A and B are shown apart, each in its own frame.
Chain A
Amino acid sequence: MNLAIFLLALFDGVAYAALVFIVALGLTLIFGVMRILNVAHGSLYAIGAYATVSLTGYVLALGFAPVLAFPLMIVSAVLVGIAIGGPLEYFLLRRIYDKSEVLQLLVTFAVFMILEDVQRLVWGTQPYFDSSALQVLGNVSVFGVTYTAYQLILLPLIAVVLLLGMRFFLRRTVTGKLITATTEDREAAQSIGIDADKVFLFTFVIGAVLAGLGGALASPTTSILPGMGADMIVLSFAVVATAGLGQIEGAALTALMIGLGRSFAVYLYPEISVLVPYLIMVLVLLVRPEGLFGSPAARKI
C-alpha cells in the first residue's frame, strides 16, 4: 500500500465518519441527558433528508439559485427538530422517563415504525435524489482521483465545527451548564431550581435537529428511500455504544475509527468492509464494556 492509496483511504474514511458523527452526536446527547436510547432518531434522520430534497426541489423549481440548497438544509433540520422532536418529547417521552429501559426502547421503536410509515405515506416508495448542493461546490482532484468538495471538505468541516461548538455550548454557556447539571443528577438540579422538564425538551429538540441535519447533509450524496433511517440508527448506535453512551468526544473518535476502518477495508479486503464497524464495537466492548470513554455507571436502586 503506497502513500497515495493510504491518503485516498484516509480521505474516504474521514468523509464517511463526518456524516456518521453528526447523526451519532444527536443520539448520544439525548442519551447522555435523558438516559433514553431514541430509536426514532433514525426516522428523524430520514425525514430530514426527505424534507431537504422536497424543499430544495420546490425552491429550485421556482428558479432560485442552487446555492440556496444550503440554507434549506438548516431549515429542514430545524423543522424536523421543532415539528417532530418537540411534540415527541412533550407528549410521549415525558411520560416514560421513570419507566424501565425496555419499555422506553419499545416506545421509541414504536415511534420509529410509525414514522417509517408516515414517510411512505408522504413520499411514497420511489427513491429521491437531489444533488444540487453538492454540484454547487464542484470537484477536487487528488492523485488523479476526483472527489466532491462537498464530501472531502464541507462535511468534515461541519463535523469539526459541531464537535467544538457542542463542547463550547455544554461547558461555557448557561444553558449548556444547566444541561450538564441535569445530566449529572436530575433531583439535585431540580432542588436548586433548574426546570428539568424544560432542559429535557430543549436537549431533545437539539438532538432531533442534529438527526435532521445529518439527513439533510447526507441527502445530496445518496438516494433517499424507505429504510435509510434503519441503517443509520444501527450504525450510529454502534458508534455511540463503542464510545460510551453520552460521550461526545468519544463519538467523534469512534466515528473516525469506524470510517477509517471501513475505507481501509475497502482498499485492502473489501469482503469485510461491512463487518468493520461491528468488529470495532465488539473489540472495544470486550475490553471496556462501558465503552471507550464511558465510566462504569453507579446503578440507581
Chain B
Amino acid sequence: MKTKIMKRTVSALLASAMPVVAFAADKPDSLKIGMTAFLTGPASVFGVPARDAAEIMIENINAKGGINGVPIEINFIDEGAGAEALTSEYRRMVQSGGAEVMLASISSGNCQTIAPLAEDLQVPNLMWDCGTQRIFEENDYKYVFRTQANATPEMLATVAYLLKTKPDFKTIAVVNQDYAWGRDSWDIFSTALKAMKPDVEVVAEFFPKFGSPDFSTEISRLQALQPDVILSTSWGGDLDTFVQQASQRGLLNTSTFVLPLAESSLERLGAALTDGHIVGARGDHYFLHPERRNDEDFQAFMKQYEEKTGDVSVYPVFHASQAIAALTGAYEKAIADNSVDWPSEDQLLAALEGLTFQGLGRPVTLREDNQGVEDQLIGTSVQTGEYPFATLENIMIFDGDQLTTPVGEISIEWVKTLDAGFVDAISFDQFDN
C-alpha cells in the first residue's frame, strides 16, 4: 500500500515537472504538413494555384536542405469534398498521418469548423487564406494562427482607396454573391462607408445566388439607376461573368467598379476590364508588386510559377507563400531560441507568438491574438498593351496596423466608431504602377 502511494507521488511529481523542462523532439526524417484547399468546385480558382505554388516553394526549400536538414513533405486535402469529408481527412492526417502542422483553409466556414478541431487535436494550424474576421474576435485559440489579414482590413483598405481617389461620389450599388462572404463583406464595407461618408446613398443591393451564370437583369437595372460606384466582392467565375456581361453592355463606361478581389481575375478578364476601375488583392499581392518585382527571389519564383502553370500568380499564391514562410520561420526560430536540433510542439508554438515572416509580399507579423497584420494593396485598372489584360496603376499599399481591428474588439462595432478623419490619417505608400 505504502509503496503504491509512494509510486503515485513520484510519478505525479515527475508529471508536474514535465512541462517545466520542455524536451526537444527527435529530429524526424521529414516534416509532414497538411494543407487544405479547394481542388474541385468553383473555389478551385484559388485552391489549385495555391497548391501549385506550395509545391514549388517546398521543392525549393527541400532542394536547399529543408529545415535544419529535415525535408518538408506536404499533403493536400480537397475542401471541395464538403465539410464532413474535410474534418475526417484533417483528423486522419493529424492522428495517423503524422502531420505536425496543418495549413487550413480557404473557406471561412471551414476555418470556423477547423479552429476548434485543431485545438482539440492540439495541432498547430496556420489559417492561410480564409477571410472571416470572426475567428479571433469570438474565440481565443492556442494552436491557431492566421498568416494573413481578414475581411475587415481588406474592406477598409478598399473604402480608403475609394474615398481617396473618388471623394465626390454620391451613389453606390452592390452586387455580391449570396453567401457568408458576400453578405459579411458588404456589412463591413457599408458600415465603414456610412461612418466615413454618411451622405452616400445606396441605390441598389443585389445578392445573386452563388455561381449565378447570368447577371443580365441586374445589369439592366444598374444601367437604369446609373450609380457612380458599383461594388462587387465576388470572385472566380461569378466575378468574371459579371464583369464580362457588364463590359459587353457598356456598364463599365458609366460607373466605376470597385472589385476587392479582381486581382485574382485580371488575366482571365482580358480586355473586358477597362481602365479606371478599382482592383483589390486581399493583401499586398500582385505579380508586379511595386516593391518586390525587382527582387531576385520574387522574380525567380514568378518565373518558376509561370513555367509550371502557364498563368501569372494570383493572391492565393501569395497567401500560400506567407503560410510557408511562417512555418519555416517558426521552426528556424524555435531551433535557434532553444538551441535544439528539432523543436517540441511547445517550442514551436512559442516561436509562432509574435513571429514576423516574409513571403512574396511585405513582411507580416502575428499579433498577440494570433491574427496576422498584413498590408493591403489596391490599384486602378489600366490596359497598357504590355499584357493582354489589365494591370494596375496608381497603386496604394496601406499599412495593415491601422486597418486591423484592435485586439479584443469586434470589427463591426469598431468600424462604426471610425470617421472621415480615418482616411486622412491612414498611412500608405503610393506607386505609379
A-B contact count (CB 8 A): 115
Does A100 have its Cβ within 8 Å of any Cβ on chain B? no
Contact of B268 with A225 in the complex, beta carbons under 8 Å: no
Does B221 have its Cβ within 8 Å of any Cβ on chain A? yes
Residues of B contacting A190 in the complex (Cβ-Cβ under 8 angstroms):
none
Residues of A contacting B269 in the complex (Cβ-Cβ under 8 angstroms):
129
Does A145 have its Cβ within 8 Å of any Cβ on chain B? yes
Does A21 have its Cβ within 8 Å of any Cβ on chain B? no
The residue in B211, B217, B241 that gathers the most chain A C-beta atoms within 10 A of its C-beta is B217
Contact of A227 among B208, B209, B211 (CB under 8 A): B211
Per the bound structure, the CA–CA distance linking A228 and B42 in Å amounts to: 9
- Among B4-12, B93-101, B242-250, the one that faces the other chain is B242-250
Does B68 have its Cβ within 8 Å of any Cβ on chain A? no
Contact of B207 with A271 in the complex, beta carbons under 8 Å: yes
Does A267 have its Cβ within 8 Å of any Cβ on chain B? yes
Does B41 have its Cβ within 8 Å of any Cβ on chain A? yes
Contact of B249 with A227 in the complex, beta carbons under 8 Å: no
Given A144-B223, A221-B245, A227-B41, A127:B236 Cβ within 8 A: yes
Per the bound structure, the CA–CA distance linking A8 and B369 in Å amounts to: 51
Contact of B216 with A12 in the complex, beta carbons under 8 Å: yes
Using an 8 Å CB-CB cutoff, how does the interface string of A261-278 with B read, 1 for contact, 0 for none? 011001100110110000
A222-249 with Cβ < 8 A to chain B: 222-223, 225-228, 231-232
Contact of A125 with B214 in the complex, beta carbons under 8 Å: no
Q: Which A residue's beta carbon lies closest to that of B247? A: A131
Contact of B40 with A125 in the complex, beta carbons under 8 Å: yes
Contact of B214 with A8 in the complex, beta carbons under 8 Å: no
B247 CB to nearest A CB, Å: 9
A110-126 with Cβ < 8 A to chain B: 120, 124-126
Per the bound structure, the CA–CA distance linking A267 and B223 in Å amounts to: 12
Contact of B244 with A274 in the complex, beta carbons under 8 Å: no
Does B204 have its Cβ within 8 Å of any Cβ on chain A? yes
Contact of A129 with B268 in the complex, beta carbons under 8 Å: yes
Per the bound structure, the CA–CA distance linking A263 and B207 in Å amounts to: 14
Per the bound structure, the CA–CA distance linking A126 and B221 in Å amounts to: 29
Using an 8 Å CB-CB cutoff, how does the interface string of B232-271 with A read, 1 for contact, 0 for none? 0000111011001100111100000000000000001110
Residues of B contacting A4 in the complex (Cβ-Cβ under 8 angstroms):
224
B194-229 with Cβ < 8 A to chain A: 204-209, 211, 213-214, 216-218, 220-221, 223-224
Per the bound structure, the CA–CA distance linking A131 and B241 in Å amounts to: 11
Residues of A contacting B249 in the complex (Cβ-Cβ under 8 angstroms):
139, 146-148
Contact of A8 with B213 in the complex, beta carbons under 8 Å: no
B250 CB to nearest A CB, Å: 5
The residue in B221, B236, B250 that gathers the most chain A C-beta atoms within 10 A of its C-beta is B221
A153-177 with Cβ < 8 A to chain B: none
Residues of A contacting B223 in the complex (Cβ-Cβ under 8 angstroms):
144-146
B219 CB to nearest A CB, Å: 9
Per the bound structure, the CA–CA distance linking A263 and B208 in Å amounts to: 12
Contact of B207 with A223 in the complex, beta carbons under 8 Å: no
Contact of A125 with B44 in the complex, beta carbons under 8 Å: yes
Contact of A274 with B44 in the complex, beta carbons under 8 Å: no
Given A127-B236, A146-B249, A222:B217 Cβ within 8 A: no
B362 CB to nearest A CB, Å: 28
Given A125-B44, A139-B249, A223:B244 Cβ within 8 A: yes
Contact of A270 with B216 in the complex, beta carbons under 8 Å: no
Residues of A contacting B205 in the complex (Cβ-Cβ under 8 angstroms):
270
The residue in A8, A146, A228 that gathers the most chain B C-beta atoms within 10 A of its C-beta is A146
Q: How many residues of B contact A (CB 8 A)?
A: 40
Does A16 have its Cβ within 8 Å of any Cβ on chain B? yes
Per the bound structure, the CA–CA distance linking A27 and B214 in Å amounts to: 21
A250-292 with Cβ < 8 A to chain B: 262-263, 266-267, 270-271, 273-274
B242 CB to nearest A CB, Å: 9
Per the bound structure, the CA–CA distance linking A231 and B417 in Å amounts to: 42
Contact of A222 with B206 in the complex, beta carbons under 8 Å: no
Residues of B contacting A135 in the complex (Cβ-Cβ under 8 angstroms):
248
Does B178 have its Cβ within 8 Å of any Cβ on chain A? yes
Q: Which B residue's beta carbon lies closest to that of A138? A: B248
Does B45 have its Cβ within 8 Å of any Cβ on chain A? yes
Contact of A223 with B237 in the complex, beta carbons under 8 Å: yes
Per the bound structure, the CA–CA distance linking A19 and B209 in Å amounts to: 18
Contact of A125 among B48, B244, B251, B268 (CB under 8 A): B48
A148 CB to nearest B CB, Å: 5
A220 CB to nearest B CB, Å: 9
Residues of B contacting A222 in the complex (Cβ-Cβ under 8 angstroms):
213-214, 241, 245
Per the bound structure, the CA–CA distance linking A228 and B220 in Å amounts to: 23
Given A266-B218, A273-B208, A125:B45 Cβ within 8 A: yes
Given A9-B217, A129-B240, A134-B248, A225:B224 Cβ within 8 A: no
Given A145-B224, A146-B223, A266-B218, A225:B250 Cβ within 8 A: no
Does A108 have its Cβ within 8 Å of any Cβ on chain B? no
A255 CB to nearest B CB, Å: 13
Given A16-B216, A266-B217, A274:B178 Cβ within 8 A: yes
Contact of B268 among A19, A127, A143, A148 (CB under 8 A): A127
Residues of B contacting A270 in the complex (Cβ-Cβ under 8 angstroms):
204-207, 218
Contact of B220 with A145 in the complex, beta carbons under 8 Å: yes
Residues of B contacting A12 in the complex (Cβ-Cβ under 8 angstroms):
216-217, 220
Q: Which residues of A contact B (CB under 8 A)?
A: 4-5, 8-9, 11-13, 15-16, 19, 120, 124-127, 129, 131, 134-135, 139, 143-148, 151, 218, 221-223, 225-228, 231-232, 262-263, 266-267, 270-271, 273-274
14 A-B pairs besides A125-B45, A273-B217 with CB distance below 8 A are A16-B214, A19-B214, A135-B248, A139-B248, A145-B223, A146-B223, A218-B213, A221-B213, A222-B213, A225-B236, A231-B211, A263-B217, A266-B217, A273-B208
Supply 25 A–B pairs (Cβ within 8 Å), ascending by A: A16-B216, A125-B44, A126-B45, A127-B45, A127-B268, A129-B240, A129-B241, A129-B270, A131-B244, A144-B223, A146-B249, A146-B251, A221-B241, A222-B245, A225-B45, A225-B236, A226-B44, A228-B211, A231-B211, A232-B213, A262-B217, A266-B218, A270-B204, A270-B207, A270-B218
